[in-house]
Each structure stands twice: as structure tokens, then as C-alpha cells.
């Protein structure tokens, strides 16, 4: 038996993390597929039951009459959706004997990066052969955090309350099961899937980590504690360094931050200058590009108003010719740029180098050069959070970051 295509053996060294790489572009970035907006309209791709149209299910709780503005992705279609925050997308189906009822959809493309899949557990040995524990407050992240703190690469949840940790790359040896067989709710959060009876849902333990170093050409980075809400007083930074890249494309596939105090920043990895800052009142454009091969992603949260957080996808482009081509996305958007020499020597200079692509619906106030907020009243708070990190960022990171307000 060959390992599944999405299984990745991760180097847990802190030098070259490969968490959440996307061999195939996922259609979901939440653990329960609440963000699924695909077009599957039957319960499974092969011999599945056809879904009923959401505008024809008025006798049931979820329909377009009750939710006329597209809430939860509902509309005049019959695509699988998750409007009620269940553990996975579902739809109403009709059975001649049982009438109309609902059923979960098995959607292979709706698997958040870092979710390694649902696997069979035959008992001895279990799919993950490290440590195990049970909890009546289990969530995906509590299990992941426990395994990560013990230096394990993989975390698995079973039956809603059991957590398994391990490093063995042959976790797939008993065979992969349909994702719908891992839809038992987590005892600590009934919106999250935590395996099933004899079924283990496996995750990469780098999901929700507070910081990391990325060198792969493409990856997805999640906010700390994801898929749980991010914690208070968080100060996390991730380095993204892809040698030889002419630019890095960024896309926030998920961005749920409550207020203007919690924020995400992107900094020049060489000069530590802030290139862009986003928060609850200053949301990011859908996609943008930074003309560097080294970028720092920074996240800060205060003591109130936690939220789901973010998922950001990046892809490095090494073809220098590519940046001179006009893509479809660029022809439909406003291009904001400062022309600069993109050589390594220029990147190490004090000049802020960036080429950001944004849509006209997002004002340029979210871009570099329009940030005027002061830092003085928050120096102590930032210093406390940065000094709590390990390893510490270089001294200029704190000084320039703070001076940029």
C-alpha cells in the first residue's frame, strides 16, 4: 500500500518547516468546511445522493427564504454547504421511504492544509505509536498542542475524546477512510471533527503554532491556536525565506480578526520595515505580491476580543520574467508599486521594496506609506511579548517595528 498523496513527512527542526503544503489547491481552510464554496451537489462524487436545492427546502431550517442574502453560502443552487457550523458540509436529500433528510457530503477537495485525512484504527498498534490521552474537553488544537509540546510531528483524534501523538510516517498502513467517518464532534467543541469509532483524524502538529521558519515554495500559515480562536496576549512571528524567489504571492484565504488592536503585519525580512498592516478595521486585499525572497509575518493580540484568526497562503515565484507579465488578476485590479532593484544587495538596503497588487474595492490606506499610528504608548506591551518569544528576533526588529507606528 502506498501512502496517501497528501501525507507529508515534516522536518521538526525549526530550520525548514513544511507545514501545510498544498500539492492540490484545497477548497477549504477551516476544520469543518464552513468556508466551502465549491460546486459538489451530491453526497459523494461516486454514487452519492443528489442534493436538494436550498431554495426548495422551505419546510426545513436552512433555506433561501430564511437566509436570502447568501448567508452560509446558501443560494439558488444545490451545492453542499455548512450553514450551521456543523462538523462538515452537508445537504438535504430526498429518500422515497424516509422523506427528506440531510446527510454529510464527502468532498475530497474540502480538506484544510495540514489535515492529513481520516484513517482506520485496528487497535494494536494504533496509527500513531507515541503517547495518548483522553479528555472530555478535547479540541483539535488541544490535542495538537499537547503533541507539539512533546516534539511529535503528528496528532490524531478519535471518538471525540481521545488524542494520539506520534512520529511514525506509516500512519496510513491500515488504510484511509472517508472523511465523513471522522465526523464525531470534539467533546470540547461541537463544531470540530474529532475522529470516529475506530477512525482517527490526523493533523500536522505545526497547525496553530506560534511562529516558525518556512523555506518551501508554497505553504499555508495559520494563526496561533487555530482552529480554536487565538489566545490573548499573543506575539508570534514566522519567517518566509525562499532563496532565488523574485516575489512572493500572498492570499488571506481566511481573515477573522475582531478589532483594530489585534493585527497582522508583513515585514521586509532584511530591513525589518513594515510593508503592510491589517486588522479588524483595515482588512487585507484578497491577493497581493511582495517583491522579496524574505518576508516576516507577525501577529499580535491584546487581552480582549479573540476571534477565529487567519489562514494565509503564500507562493514564491522564482521566474524573474513572470513579474513583467500582465496576469488576468492584474488587469482587473489596481497596481500599487514602488519600482526598485530586486537584487539581494538592494533588498538589504534601507529602502522598502514592494510590489503589491490589490483590488479597487480595498483602499490604499492598507498599504505601506499610509501608516501613521504611534507606538510610544505600546512599547512596553510589545517588548513584553517579543521578549517572551524563543528565539528572540534581532534587536532591529523591535526597534524598527515599534518606530513604524
Question: In the predicted model, is pLDDT for residue 2 greater than 70?
Answer: no
Look up the CATH number of domain 212-403. 2.60.120.290
Per-residue pLDDT, averaged over 74-78, amounts to 97
Q: How confident is the model at residue 95 (pLDDT cuts 50, 70, 90)?
A: confident
205 pLDDT more than 90: yes
Categorize the per-residue pLDDT at 287 as very low, low, confident or very high, splitting at 50, 70 and 90. Answer: very high
* 390 Cβ contact list (under 8 Å, min separation 6): none
Q: What are phi and psi of 374, to 5 degrees?
A: -90, 160
The larger pLDDT score, comparing residue 295 to residue 168, is at 295
Predicted pLDDT of residue 217: 95
Please tell me whether the peptide bond between 90 and the residue prior to it is cis, using omega within 30 degrees of 0.
Answer: no
Q: Where do the DSSP E strands lie in 194-261? A: 199-204, 212-214, 218-222, 235-241, 247-256
With a CB cutoff of 8 Å and minimum separation 6, the contacts of 77 are 39, 41, 53, 54
The pLDDT of residue 26 is 84
Residue pair 263/297 in contact by the 8 Å Cβ criterion: no
What is the mean predicted confidence (pLDDT) over 55-69? 92
User: What is the model's pLDDT at position 326?
Assistant: 31
d(C-alpha 219, C-alpha 22), whole Å: 6
- Tell me whether strands 334-338 and 354-358 are parallel, antiparallel or unpaired: antiparallel
The answer on pLDDT for 294 being more than 90 is yes
Q: How far apart are CA 114 and CA 241, in angstroms?
A: 20
Q: Which residues of 87-100 are buried (b: 16+ CB within 10 A; e: fewer)?
A: bbbbbbbeeeeeee
Which residue is listed with cell 445537504? 91
> pLDDT class for 59, splitting at 50, 70, 90?
confident
Separation between Cα atoms, residue 104 and residue 44, nearest integer Å: 9
367-394 pLDDT tens trace: 333 322 333 333 333 333 444 444 444 4
Could you tell me the pTM of the whole model? 0.74
Give residue for cell 475582531: 258
As a whole number of angstroms, the distance between CA 39 and CA 42 comes to: 9
Give all strands (DSSP E) within 23-153, no chain letters: 90-95, 99-104, 115-120, 132-134
Give mean pLDDT, residues 96-110. Answer: 87
Rounded distance, CA 5 to CA 302, Å?
39
Is the pLDDT score of 398 beyond 70? no
Residue 352, pLDDT > 80, answer no
Among 239, 232, 183, smallest CA distance to 213 is for 239
First to last CA, the chain: 55
Chain mean pLDDT for the chain? 78
Name the band, by pLDDT with cuts 50, 70 and 90, for residue 172.
Answer: confident
Q: Of 156, 138, 230, which Cα lies nearest the Cα of 192? A: 138
Strand order in the sheet with 212-214: 212-214, 235-241, 294-300, 263-268, 274-279
Degrees to nearest 5, angle at CA 285 with 14 and 280: 80
Helix segments in 3-158, DSSP class H: 140-149
Q: What is the CATH number of domain 54-104?
A: 2.40.20.10
- pLDDT category at 171 given cuts 50, 70, 90 is confident
Of the pLDDT bands very low, low, confident and very high (cuts 50, 70, 90), residue 19 is low
Is residue 338's pLDDT more than 50? no
CB 183 within 8 A of CB 104: yes
Band (332; pLDDT cuts 50, 70, 90): very low
User: Cell 492540490, residue?
Assistant: 24
pLDDT the model gives residue 245: 95
Asked if residue 16 has pLDDT above 70, the reply is no
Q: Output the pLDDT for position 46.
A: 87
Helices (H) and strands (E) in the chain, counts: 5, 21
pLDDT tier, 25 (very low <50, low <70, confident <90, very high otherwise): low
Q: Check pLDDT > 90 for residue 122.
A: no
40 in Cβ contact with 107 (< 8 Å): yes
Residue 320: band (very low, low, confident or very high) from pLDDT cuts 50, 70, 90: low
pLDDT at residue 123, rounded to an integer: 81
285 burial class (0-12, 13-18, 19+ CB within 10 angstroms)?
A: buried
Q: Name the one residue in this structure whose C-alpha cell is 500582465.
A: 326
Q: Is the pLDDT of residue 342 over 70?
A: no
The helix (H) or strand (E) run that includes residue 9 is none
- Torsion sign, CA atoms 310, 263, 323, 349: negative
pLDDT above 80 (res 340): no
Amino acid at each position: 500500500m502506498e501512502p496517501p498523496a497528501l501525507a507529508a513527512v515534516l522536518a521538526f527542526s525549526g530550520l525548514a518547516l513544511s507545514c501545510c503544503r498544498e500539492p492540490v489547491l484545497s477548497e477549504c481552510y477551516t476544520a469543518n468546511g464552513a468556508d466551502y464554496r465549491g460546486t459538489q451537489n451530491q453526497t459523494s462524487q461516486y454514487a452519492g445522493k443528489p442534493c436538494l436545492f436550498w431554495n426548495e427546502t422551505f419546510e426545513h431550517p436552512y433555506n433561501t427564504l430564511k437566509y436570502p442574502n447568501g448567508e452560509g453560502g446558501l443560494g439558488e443552487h444545490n451545492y453542499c454547504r455548512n450553514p450551521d457550523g456543523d462538523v462538515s458540509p452537508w445537504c438535504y436529500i430526498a429518500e422515497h421511504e424516509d422523506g427528506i433528510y440531510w446527510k454529510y457530503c464527502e468532498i475530497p477537495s474540502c480538506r484544510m492544509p495540514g489535515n492529513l485525512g481520516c484513517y482506520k484504527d485496528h487497535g494494536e498498534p494504533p496509527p500513531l505509536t507515541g503517547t495518548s490521552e483522553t479528555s472530555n474537553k478535547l479540541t483539535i488544537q488541544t490535542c495538537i498542542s499537547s503533541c507539539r509540546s512533546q516534539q511529535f510531528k503528528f496528532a490524531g483524534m478519535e471518538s471525540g475524546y481521545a488524542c494520539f501523538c506520534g512520529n511514525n510516517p506509516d500512519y496510513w498502513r491500515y488504510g484511509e477512510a472517508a472523511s465523513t467517518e471522522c465526523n464525531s464532534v470534539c467533546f470540547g467543541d461541537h463544531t470540530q471533527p474529532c475522529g470516529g469509532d475506530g477512525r482517527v483524524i490526523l493533523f500536522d502538529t505545526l497547525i496553530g503554532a506560534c511562529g516558525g521558519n518556512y523555506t518551501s515554495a508554497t505553504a499555508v500559515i495559520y494563526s496561533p491556536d487555530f482552529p480554536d480562536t487565538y489566545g490573548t496576549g499573543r506575539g508570534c512571528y514566522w519567517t518566509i525565506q525562499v532563496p532565488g524567489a523574485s516575489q512572493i504571492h500572498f492570499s488571506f484565504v481566511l481573515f477573522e480578526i475582531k478589532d483594530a488592536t489585534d493585527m497582522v503585519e508583513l515585514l521586509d525580512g532584511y530591513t525589518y520595515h513594515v510593508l503592510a498592516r491589517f486588522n479588524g478595521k483595515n482588512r487585507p486585499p484578497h491577493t497581493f505580491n511582495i517583491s522579496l525572497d524574505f518576508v516576516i509575518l507577525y501577529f499580535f493580540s491584546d487581552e480582549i476580543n479573540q476571534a477565529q484568526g487567519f489562514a494565509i497562503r503564500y507562493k514564491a515565484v522564482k521566474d524573474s520574467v513572470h513579474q513583467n507579465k500582465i496576469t488576468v488578476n492584474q488587469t482587473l485590479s489596481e497596481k500599487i508599486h514602488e519600482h526598485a532593484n530586486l537584487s539581494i544587495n538592494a533588498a538589504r538596503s534601507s529602502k522598502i521594496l514592494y510590489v503589491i497588487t490589490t483590488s479597487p474595492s480595498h483602499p490604499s490606506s492598507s498599504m505601506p506609506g499610509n501608516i501613521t499610528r504611534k507606538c510610544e504608548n505600546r512599547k512596553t506591551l510589545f517588548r513584553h511579548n517579543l521578549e517572551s518569544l524563543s528565539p528572540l528576533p534581532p534587536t532591529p526588529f523591535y526597534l524598527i517595528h515599534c518606530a513604524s507606528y
